Amino acid sequence: MRKAIVIACAMMFLSIAVYGQETPKAELFGGYSYFHSEGGSDLHGWNGSIAVNLNKWFGVVADFSGHYDSNSSSISTIFLPDPGFPTASIRIDADTNIHSFLFGPRFSYREKEAITPFAHALIGFSRVHSEGTFTTTTGSTTVTQTFSVSDTAFAAAFGGGLDLKLSDSFALRVVQADYVLTRFSGFTNHNARISTGLVFRFGSK
């Protein structure tokens, strides 16, 4: 009887140990994301990814994100020092969005069951689009013009994050922080991206 109990406990211990070492076949992430551009703009949006784990510590990931911003600015000026000369005002209203499509390797540390830190190096491309109106008012005359510009260029992201296990199938991505490099119009921009959300884990290896 005592021998049977020892064997049962040993089998239970081994099953727990194996369970703690299980690696999901794939992980699907989605959540909120904040993007700070080198030019000083703050954009808000979403970030999603799907990672396929080839073994316990190495996988490949496809990462997608979209960030959005709306802003307005206006200036007023007078061309001559004559109080009777009409002033001119210029107003610009613009909506800007940037979408990124990145791919690359991910390295995960799975020695602890509750938390999984990871790092990745991703490359791909980003697309920025801005559209809006340019309004000039001189006296009683107002002229409004619309504009729309887009650019698609090389992009890369280097960073990582930390996942906190909630259940067998779900985890909370406490934080994912990335340095994002873009090359719009031939200029290199150094940006920052921070994301958080839920991770759905399915399958096991």
Q: Output the CA–CA distances (angstroms, integers) from residue 96 to 37, 46, 184, 197, in the order listed.
A: 12, 15, 14, 24
Question: Do residues 49 and 29 lie in contact, with contact meaning Cβ atoms separated by under 8 Å?
Answer: yes
Residue 111, sorted as left (phi over 0), alpha (psi -120 to 50) or beta, turns out to be alpha
SS3 content of the chain, % helix, strand, coil (to 5): 10, 70, 20
Instruction: pLDDT tens for the chain, 205 residues: list them.
Output: 444 444 444 444 344 444 444 899 999 999 999 999 998 889 999 999 999 999 999 999 999 999 999 877 666 655 555 555 566 777 788 889 999 999 999 999 999 989 999 999 999 999 999 998 877 877 678 888 888 899 999 999 999 999 999 999 999 999 999 999 999 988 999 999 999 999 999 988 7
Taking Cα atoms as reference points, which of 87, 60, 48 lies closest to residue 173?
48
Query: Tens of pLDDT along 164-187?
Result: 999 999 999 999 999 999 999 889
Query: Tens of pLDDT along 121-142?
Result: 999 999 999 998 877 877 678 8
Question: What's the confidence (pLDDT) of residue 205?
Answer: 73
Classify residue 105 by burial, with Cβ atoms within 10 Å: 0-12, 13-18, 19+.
middle
Question: Do residues 70 and 43 lie in contact, with contact meaning Cβ atoms separated by under 8 Å?
Answer: no
Q: How far apart are alpha carbons 190 and 107 in whole angstroms?
A: 23
From the options 1.25.40.80, 3.40.50.2300, 2.40.50.140, 2.40.160.20, give the CATH code of 2-202: 2.40.160.20
Q: How far apart are alpha carbons 82 and 80 in whole angstroms?
A: 5
Q: In degrees rounded to 5, what are phi and psi of residue 32?
A: -80, 150
Question: Do residues 107 and 61 lie in contact, with contact meaning Cβ atoms separated by under 8 Å?
Answer: no
In degrees, rounded to 5, the angle at the alpha carbon of residue 141 between the alpha carbons of residues 140 and 142 is 120
Q: Which residue has the tokens 């938390």?
A: 115
**In DSSP terms, which residues pair with 181 in a beta bridge?**
156, 190
Tokens encoding 61: 């990931």
Q: How far apart are alpha carbons 139 and 82 in whole angstroms?
A: 14
Question: What's the confidence (pLDDT) of residue 75?
Answer: 67
Question: What's the confidence (pLDDT) of residue 71?
Answer: 79
Where are the chain's structural domains? Answer: 2-202
